[in-house]
Amino acid sequence: MFNRRKWDLETDFVAVGSGLGGLGAAIVAHDGGAKVLVLEKARKLGGICAYSGGEVFLPGNHLQAAAGIEDSREKGLEYLRFLGAGYEDRALQDNLVDAGVEAVRWFGERAGVRWKLIKDFPDYYYPTAPGSAAKGRYLEVELIRGDTLGEWKRKVFLSPHVPIGVTHDELFAWGGFTGIMGWDFAVLGQRITDDLRGFGPGMMAYFVKAALIDRKIPVQLDCAVRELIVDDGAVIGVRATQGGKDLVVRAKKGVLLATGGYDWHASLPKYYEQLPEWNSMCQPSVEGDGFTMGAEVGAAVAAVPANNLGLFFGYHIPGEEHEGKPLWRGSWDGGFPHAIWVNAAGERFADESFYRDYLPKVRAWDGVKQRQPNFPPYLIFDSNFREKYPLGRFLPSQDLPESLVQRAGSLRELAAKLGVDGAALEATVARFNAFARDGVDQDFGRGTYPWASMMTGDFKKGGNPNLGPLDKPPFYGLQLRVVSAGINAAGLKTNEHAQVLHVRGRAIGGLYAAGNAAAPLDTGAGYQSGLSNLRGLVGGWLAARHAVSRQP
Amino acid sequence: MPEVEYSTTMRLAPESVWEFVRDMNNWAPFLTGYQGHEIESDTDSVWTLKGDVGVLSRTVRLKAHVTEWNGPERVSFTLVGLDEVVEGGGTLTIGKPSELMAPARGPSLWRRFVDGIFRWLFRAMHGKGPRRLQTSRADAASQLTFKLRMDAGGPSGPLVNAMLAPALKPAAEDLANKIAAHLETLHGVG
Ligand SMILES: Cc1cc2nc3c(=O)[nH]c(=O)nc-3n(C[C@H](O)[C@H](O)[C@H](O)COP(=O)(O)OP(=O)(O)OC[C@H]3O[C@@H](n4cnc5c(N)ncnc54)[C@H](O)[C@@H]3O)c2cc1C
């Protein structure tokens, strides 16, 4: 038995991690009467949630009805079942909608989170999937002032990946991601000066305010939980390290692992994600610690097919860093007009505007040659693209660094520089240009999903928003790399109360997991933006509610 | 356009400060995020700095060109981004302190100790002692003012400027304070 005299701190509920899972649970447990402590390994709060787009996907949410948008639990679940494709655990999936609706409303009414609907934003698979909806299922937050966080305002992550002082509605009205030249940069500049936050950083500002400012919930930063303390088969506390010293905390009612996935773990991505490399957009503190600590106390690990979760391709611009590590940026540019993705054989292999289509195809295996022929992909674009669209942070007028992008007068020359089959690339581009002229991609149907077109299309140009020929030299190209958004295939197996399950099937007393620390059996074999944040929120909500009523 | 100004005072004669400040190579390493610099001519150099732009840190190369060399009062220079659409400039001005300073004291025992350590370290690193600058009078005092402005161009200029602005003030403070601390240590005052 653990020597009880060794506790440095005693509390009821310990939330490990400060994303939506950790902070949400802390707020709920606090309001349920529990004494709560949040331990965060990074030097700032907010986790990947604060790096994110801040979209929360929730069919049947309370704001839909108010906006006169028809939806239902059944229709929402029909869509989620389509995504899960049989790999989902139905009870857990039902929770996403049932507990999700309850939790989102509660955080709005009781914790001051000012949710709003993202206007006219369709489900990924609308209109083809059963139960899919044209609008009304994505929530984000209204802008919030950094000043409301008082002394914590510089201790909450902002995101290097998303625009910050703005809402989705404003961005789409300004022309979306292809229309960056139409963005109101004066307004954006002023919003940054005024420290107005939206997207993921805004969302997490609300949760930090609710937890730390309004409820004065104690938080330790730079405090990594290393080990779960177990007594008689149940978790009764944690051992953390902070500034080289041990911090041993008793948790009378429960410990929640809301530590995110394993993006920065040295080997787990290779074992579970079926790609030869793994780079991450996330903070380097997300190293699969929950996975390790759970396994150490006998937790079951579960995984869904890695094929179609939230993953991107992207690149690293030499010289860019965050949190002392290289910054990896996601690339959506392949779906913009005047751009394609090809494999080393010089062939297109998917609808570049719709990452649901290209993710499984980039993992496709050639069993004769024993390799993944579509990996790595190459982004190819022409001077039409350069004149109109940004490449990541590089606006049309800005030079592209030679260390990142190759440039050549002809496609053949470009192919040689990239190590791609030149004759095939010429043929591929000629075929694509014909599709662009007709406005129909006969091979992969690019531009047919309204969601994909909103994200990567150009609506101002007329015709198919995702098609435009590559016919103006010089041509440009770069090899893309795997860039993860932290949404992993494997995690700790949990039940409908977010309790972690032992390999023998029983729930491990006092141990909970939420968000990416938990196996994505609630979503199954598919993904839809906003589900990852929802998983964190719902897992934290369930864990806190169960733990506060638990008798230690 | 983000522009900041920061002043600090030193117990040194303006001439002593000028002798140091007149040569950019002396203080370039004190720039926030300094990674290296290359001298191109008497008036031109390229600074490589690693700085925070909003949320991420980025390595930038800036070409510095001295436009005014007005000893012992002022060095002015312009800056142009080599990889980014950004330009700016700055001035280091040396003058008499605007406010009365506390009466000067001789170096304390502690200060002499620190000074000794510093000289020893300098020698260990460079194989020679630091260049002794013109010795300051006990009642000497100067004010060093660093003015810095940066302006991002292109359509996204207003956005980049808003992200740059919070970094400028600490950068100006950092440079002025490091020059002051370095010189005071070198001269055994402070
Ligand atoms: C650019 C980008 C955009 C995205 N956009 C969206 C979106 O719009 N909608 C959506 O649903 N999803 C989005 N995602 C994904 C989503 O945000 C994440 O998957 C989600 O935030 C995971 O939440 P979480 O609760 O699991 O924990 P996280 O937010 O990952 O938080 C985990 C926290 O635990 C801490 N931690 C780890 N180990 C320890 C330890 N040992 N001790 C203490 N603390 C520890 C970490 O430092 C971190 O702060 C996006 C991701 C990225 C990168």
Which pLDDT value is given to residue A158?
95
Give, for ligand 1, the residue of A532, A534, A535, A537 to mutate: max count of ligand atoms closer than 8 Å to Cβ.
A532
CB contact under 8 A, B155 and A319: no
Q: Which residue has the higher pLDDT, A285 or B101?
A: A285
Which range in A199-208, A392-401, B174-183 is most confidently predicted, on average pLDDT?
A: A199-208
**Residue A516 forms beta bridges with which residues?**
none
* Cα B116 to ligand 1 centre (Å): 50
Residue A322: count other Cβ atoms within 10 Å of its Cβ. Answer: 22
In chain B the domains, ranked by start, together with CATH numbers, are 3-186 (3.30.530.20)
Across the interface, which of B50, B55, B156 has its CB nearest the CB of A185?
A: B156
Which pLDDT value is given to residue A280?
97
Lowest mean pLDDT among A386-395, A509-518, B46-55, B68-77: B46-55
In percent, the amount of chain A with pLDDT more than 90 equals 95
Which pLDDT value is given to residue B104?
43
What pLDDT band is residue B103 in, cutting at 50, 70 and 90?
Answer: very low
Which pLDDT value is given to residue A173?
95
Q: Looking at the predicted structure, is the pLDDT value of residue A472 above 80? A: yes
Element holding B124 (H helix, E strand): helix B109-126
Q: Looking at the predicted structure, is the pLDDT value of residue A13 above 70? A: yes
Q: Does residue A317 sit within a domain? A: no
Say yes or no: CB of residue A93 within 6 Å of ligand 1.
Answer: no
Q: Looking at the predicted structure, is the pLDDT value of residue A24 above 70? A: yes
What pLDDT band is residue B190 in, cutting at 50, 70 and 90?
Answer: low
| Cβ atoms B79, B62 nearer than 8 A | yes
Using one digit for the tens of pLDDT, what is the confidence trace for A56-85? Answer: 999 999 999 899 999 999 999 999 999 999
Which pLDDT value is given to residue A552?
66
Q: Which residue segment(s) compose the domain that A366 sits in?
A: 332-479
Which pLDDT value is given to residue B55?
77
Which pLDDT value is given to residue B168?
87
Which pLDDT value is given to residue B136?
46
Q: Looking at the predicted structure, is the pLDDT value of residue B98 above 70? A: no
The pair of structure tokens assigned to B5 is: 């100004």
Q: Looking at the predicted structure, is the pLDDT value of residue A139 above 80? A: yes
Lowest mean pLDDT among A184-198, A229-243, A410-424, B90-104: B90-104
Instruction: State which residue of chain B sits closest to A188, comparing Cα positions.
Output: B159
Q: Does residue A362 sit within a domain? A: yes
Q: Does residue A411 sit within a domain? A: yes
Provide, as residue numbers in chain B, all residues whose Cβ is less than 8 Å from the Cβ of A318.
59
Q: Looking at the predicted structure, is the pLDDT value of residue A96 above 80? A: yes
Which pLDDT value is given to residue B25?
86
Q: Looking at the predicted structure, is the pLDDT value of residue B131 above 80? A: no
Task: Give the ipTM of the model, two decimals please.
Answer: 0.78
User: Between vectors from CA A105 to CA A101 and to CA A106, what angle results, nearest 5°?
Assistant: 115
3-state per-residue secondary structure call for A277-336: CCEECCCCCCCCHHHHHHHHCCECEEECCHHHCCEEEEEEEEEEEECCEEEEEECCHHHC
Which pLDDT value is given to residue B132?
47
Average pLDDT score over chain A = 96
Across the interface, which of B56, B159, B165 has its CB nearest the CB of A322?
A: B56
Give the total number of structural domains in chain A.
1
Q: Does residue A232 sit within a domain? A: no
Q: Looking at the predicted structure, is the pLDDT value of residue B135 above 60? A: no
User: Between vectors from CA A46 to CA A44 and to CA A52, what angle results, nearest 5°?
Assistant: 125
Helix (H, G, I), strand (E, B) or coil at A29: helix
Which pLDDT value is given to residue B2?
84
The C-alpha atoms of residue B52 and residue B56 are separated, in whole angstroms, by 6
**Residue of the CA atom closest to atom 37 of ligand 1:** A259
What single DSSP character describes residue A521? T
Q: Does residue A112 sit within a domain? A: no
Rounded average pLDDT over A421-446? 98
Chain A residues near any Cβ of chain B (below 8 Å)? 157-160, 164, 180-181, 183, 185-186, 188-193, 318-322, 327, 395, 397-399, 401
What pLDDT band is residue B71 in, cutting at 50, 70 and 90?
Answer: confident
Using one digit for the tens of pLDDT, what is the confidence trace for A298-345? Answer: 999 999 999 888 889 999 998 899 999 999 999 999 999 999 999 999
Say yes or no: CB of residue A54 within 6 Å of ligand 1.
Answer: yes
Q: Does residue A222 sit within a domain? A: no
User: Between vectors from CA A542 to CA A538 and to CA A544, what angle results, nearest 5°?
Assistant: 115
Residue A438: count other Cβ atoms within 10 Å of its Cβ. Answer: 12
Q: Does residue A299 sit within a domain? A: no
Q: What are the backbone angles phi and psi of residue A494, rounded to the nearest 5°? A: -125, 160
Which pLDDT value is given to residue B101?
45
Rounded average pLDDT over A369-398? 94
Average pLDDT score over chain B = 81
Q: Looking at the predicted structure, is the pLDDT value of residue A412 above 60? A: yes
Q: What is the DSSP string of A87-147?
A: -S-HHHHHHHHHHHHHHHHHHHHHS---EEEPTT---TTTTTSTT--SSS-EEEE--EEGG
Q: Does residue A528 sit within a domain? A: no
CB contact under 8 A, B55 and A395: no
Burial of B25 (0-12, 13-18, 19+ CB in 10 A): exposed
* Cα B112 to ligand 1 centre (Å): 52
Which pLDDT value is given to residue B159?
87
Instruction: State which residue of chain A sits closest to B165, comparing Cα positions.
Output: A193
Which pLDDT value is given to residue B100?
43
- CATH code at position A353: 3.90.700.10
Max Cα distance, chain B (Å) = 57
